[in-house]
Amino acid sequence: MAIPDHHTANFDTLMRAFSEGNVALLEVRERSTGKTRTALVAVDTERDGGVTFVPFAIMTDSPYDEYDPPVPGGGFAP
């Protein structure tokens, strides 16, 4: 499966935010469940001095237990 273009664009935006120091960890709430989670957010400073937080990624409690990494040659580790 190829990585979708919009994910690549979001990654590029996040990299710019990191290079400018405009990132934060922030508690957010899932609309569908009401559960609170920790998100990696970009901080967008408005011209009027306000800020907007743009969530890009949800932090996982145990990434090594939750996800299988890809292996060279394709596929995923068991």
Banded pLDDT at 1 (limits 50, 70, 90): low
Inter-residue contact 26 to 11 (CB < 8 Å) = no
Cβ neighbors of 28 (< 8 A, separation 6 or more) are: 36, 37, 38, 39, 41, 55, 58
pLDDT digit string, tens, across residues 46-71: 889 899 999 999 999 888 888 888 89
Q: Residue 14 above 70 pLDDT?
A: yes
The strand order across the sheet containing 51-58 reads 23-29, 36-45, 51-58
In a domain, 62, yes or no: yes
How many helices (H) and strands (E) in the chain? Answer: 2, 3
pLDDT digit string, tens, across residues 22-55: 999 999 999 999 999 999 999 998 889 899 999 9
What's the structural domain count of the chain? 1
In a domain, 49, yes or no: yes
Banded pLDDT at 78 (limits 50, 70, 90): confident
In a domain, 61, yes or no: yes
